[in-house]
Chain A
Amino acid sequence: MALDSKTTEFKYIGTRPNRPDGLDKVTGKALYGADTFAPGMLHGVIVRSPHAHAKILKIDASKAMAMKGVKAIVTRADFASDLEGDDWDLLENVMAGDKALYDGHAVAAVAATSQLLARDAAKLIDVTYEVLPHVTNVDEAMKPDAPVIREGAANYSVPEGMHPNVVRHTEFGHGDVEAGFAQADLVLEKSYTTEAVHQGYIEPHACLAQMGADGRGELWCCTQGHWFVRRMCASLLGIETANLRVTASEIGGGFGGKTTVFIDPVALALSRKANRPVKIVMSRSDVLRATGPTASASMDIKMGMTKDGRITAASGVFRLQGGAFPQAPIETTTMCAFACYDVANVHHVGFDVMSNRPKQAAYRAPGAPMGAFAAESMIDELCRELNLDPLDVRLKNAAKEGTKASYGPTYPRIGLVETLEAAKAHPHYQAPLKDNQGRGVASGYWMNWGGETSVSLAISEDGTAQVSVGTPDIGGSRASMALMAAETLGIPYENVRVNVVDTGALGVNEPTHGSRATYATGLATIQAAREAITKLCKRAADKWGIDADAVVWEDGCAKPSGPNAGEFPPLSIGEIAAEMGSTGGPISGHFEATPNGHGGSFGTHIVDVEVDKETGHTSVVRYTVVQDAGKAIHPAYVEGQFQGGAAQGIGWALNEEYIYGSDGRLQNTVFLDYRIPVASDLPMIDTVIVEVPNPGHPYGVRGVGETGITPPLPALANAVAAATGVRLRGLPLSPPKILAALQSKSDG
């Protein structure tokens, strides 16, 4: 599906119409995960481990089961017993087996006739633990004397002699880094750390499950991808996939954290046992303790630069802990770290490490922000030492079409240079700074994703169109799909209705993840519309008695392709649709594929901070995001993605972190202490949409959702360094750390 060279002038694409689900969402009518009820519904509550690492010796549910109103209790024994690999890991995380592996790990669940009763019953489920030594820090978990989370979890890739907690290893690169360092005028080698953070979606996970004794189930849940939920739940419950129908509710934020399951299989298991519908809604502390935060990272970067700013070599060692299971995103961390630059000599090493924390899940460009923090901080350090402009240096080294990427492939047309030039030309970059203020810049990359996609488009009797998609609408994607369908069909935006349909209505769709929805579901929507157009043209051709090839589609009408085709007045989509029942039956278009022409998106951010040197408090005073969108379908929602990514990155940089006590328990389990940015913490976030069309999409779309969280981490650290003269190499840039660094600088 290459870029459509004919389509450069758009009628609907690039406009900013009201989103179709807007009314429901401003009036409180939209139904999210916790907003539905079923007759006879029970409430489920999960019993969680208070220990970071413990053997489960006994679970005595007799007192709870004896309570009036308690209808079912499930433990690990109520799930499939024959799983292996990723499915086993998933089940082990959803419901603990022999051991509780982190604070908050589910060990049992109860369903009762009211929420309060279920909570009371959960307290009566008596779990006997034998507490084991624990480890929550990545560097500690690699040490020889660290407690072993699980023997035999390591795969073939891990070098001999490493601790059993090191479960995967990756190493790649090209060129000769030692030769590269020898060419440099300055070589720096520094270590950096980032803490685990949470996606912080405002809607806790919620679901309503119904499962009969016949093994058929219905599930309503808030998820980024209900086909994923279906596959995972079916596997964990040991049922056939097609017997479970999953409907995605409206979703109150996900950012990657709702691409897996936590409570859904439990609700289904409780329902199967009680033979009644079961609703489970997580509390906020459940969400923070026991869903999927990010990995934390410990990284060593070495980079060489000539005095005129040429990067001669770069190498990095990236150690990520992703909780008590394999799958910390070492691949994406390593792939994205140096991806912005054309570096002849580059080398990456990654370690995936287990610790007694919840299983990490995706979070907006999963893995990329950690590596970017280290690499982009290092570039800034080199620029400062060599007295070079950080944007000029990035321009000098910027990857472009034809560059061999740091992770191997050769880039097609990409837009990094354009974002750097736009940043340099932006008034923000030249604006004067006040006392105690500093400016930081950084670039970032996310490769984006295509993924399995299936879309149907049906023409209604009046010539309007309904589009059935399988990617839940997190941030206005219905509007984007409607714009692309309207553009392709040549009918008004208002005449297209986009529905996110359940798993019974389409083939497999991957979740709304990987910045793929506007790209892949959009591409499929365009192709489905084109298939419908072919059929519409055929109907017109039949009516006119000419060859279908002699009919063209323009502005929502079939027309003869030229004077040779014959003289016929145009037939509108409404006219053709009105007769379709008698001219061959319903008209629809369908498209399914796993498109892989997703173009990567690069971004460059500029931030000004002001640091209170007496308290170490950092305020963000100005922020600008420049990013390549390929083609912005609905610019307002593209800007929204840029702004949201920046805000999340600012939170990660300044205040957010998972804090574990010496007892291995999470210390900050509410929003009071898990400090995401509030409205008064942020300035307006200016945006510049760069459009370098993606050659892999008919209209040039690149996914835009994820790249924006990558540059803020280093940009903030670089700005704080500029404002204070002190370099912090560990996030968050919290006031105590900044103050201590300022004091040791003045002492030194």
Chain B
Amino acid sequence: MKYHTPHTFEEAAGIARTSSGTLRYLAGGTDVLVQMRADIMTPDDLIDIKHIDGVKTITKRDDGGWDIGVAVAGAEMSEHADLCADWPGVIEGMDLIGSTQVQGRATLVGNLCNGSPAADSVPAMMAAGVTVSVTGPNGVRQIAVQDVPTGPGKTCLAADEVVSAVHIPARGDHGGDAYLRFIPRTEMDIAVVGCAVNLRLDRDVISEACVALGAVAPTALIVADAAKALIGTTLDTDALAALAQAASDACNPIDDKRGTIAFRKDVAGVLAQRAAKIAYSRAKGA
């Protein structure tokens, strides 16, 4: 295994272009090192992107949105009070990944590019409308997070492309988001179901909404019908029932060691309701 420490994303993409074997990027390493230890794969080329300028910074843009460096660890996000105030749901999604120790290393981009359908930060980013910059041979392009995963362990990125920044939109007024997941224990598990809700209020009425589910399909998914169930309502009982139904209906899960199909469908509806209530109360308070 060759270990590379490029100083620019272009340089990183260049190394990727010339690599003929298995290639991995190293930011927090909390997935790559596990796969190496478990003998699932050992890269021929490992590109440590932490030596690139700006990868460890969190910046508030002029438009009120946020740019997150690709090597910013979960703990650094959780410690950022303004970011937490704007996007508590995105922070929850990130913060639920692994232990305190894992939070010291794990990154949004790593969680995204690992391609797990159960990645906790991905539904939260999707609901929030997060995009990423991708640096490749033809320069930089921007992709919505929802377009990145294409299946378990798969992304839309080309072999010589590397995610070079994360962009969270401006929170704006009267908005709120939340992420909840179900695990059998209280910590340290992979989500059996994850659900993020992001919404905006016009007085008490939901004017915009996005609902995303994790661990219930080959990729995390945005559930348009669930958002429809919310928009134009005050999150009354009927809206919550319609939301739960839409969320359950959208699931295309598998039976596995972590949960059954029926369980995942049921719990997706329950979590959608609970997350919507939290997001709604946050929007009211904002």
B-contacting residues of A (Cβ < 8 Å)?
Answer: 119, 123, 283, 285, 614-617, 619, 654-655, 659, 667-668, 670-673, 675, 677-678, 680-681, 734-736, 739-740, 743
Contact = CB atoms under 8 A, between A and B. Distances in A.
5 contacts: A614-B270, A615-B182, A673-B258, A678-B187, A678-B188
Contacts of A673: 190, 257-258
Interface in B216-270: 256-260, 262-263, 266-267, 270
Contacts, number: 60
B254 to A, nearest CB: 13
B186 interface: yes
B263 A736 contact: yes
A678 B257 contact: no
How many residues of B sit at the interface, in one of the four size bands?
20 to 34
Q: What secondary structure prevails in chain B residues at the interface with A?
A: loop
B273 to A, nearest CB: 9
Considering the complex of A and B, which 3 residue pairs feature the smallest CB-CB distances, nearest first? A736-B263, A680-B186, A614-B270
B190 A672 contact: yes
Interface string B190-227: 10100000000000000000000000000000000000
Contact of A668 (B257, B259, B262, B267): B257
Interface of B: 37-39, 182, 184-190, 192, 256-260, 262-263, 266-267, 270
B184 A670 contact: no
B262 A678 contact: no
A675 B189 CA distance: 8
B243 to A, nearest CB: 14
A608 to B, nearest CB: 17
A739 B187 CA distance: 20
A499 B200 CA distance: 68
A734 B184 contact: yes
Contact of A735 (B39, B190, B256, B263): B263
A632 B37 CA distance: 44
B263 A285 contact: no
A519 B190 CA distance: 43
B271 to A, nearest CB: 8
B163 to A, nearest CB: 25
A482 to B, nearest CB: 36
B257 A659 contact: yes
Nearest to B258: A673
Given A285-B38, A615-B267, A615-B270, A735 B187 contact: no
Given A667-B257, A668-B257, A740 B184 contact: no
A137 to B, nearest CB: 15
Given A119-B39, A677-B185, A736-B262, 13 more contacts: A283-B37, A614-B267, A615-B182, A615-B270, A667-B257, A673-B257, A678-B185, A680-B186, A734-B184, A735-B192, A735-B259, A739-B267, A740-B262
A670 B38 contact: yes
A736 B258 CA distance: 9
A739 B257 contact: no
B114 to A, nearest CB: 14
A101 to B, nearest CB: 22
With most chain B CB atoms within 10 A of its CB, the pick from A614, A616, A655, A675 is: A614
Contacts of A678: 185-188
A655 B185 contact: yes
B257 A675 contact: no
Nearest to A661: B257
A691 B133 CA distance: 68
Contacts of A677: 185
A616 B266 CA distance: 11
Could you say which of B185, B192, B258 has the most chain A C-beta atoms within 10 Å of its C-beta? B185
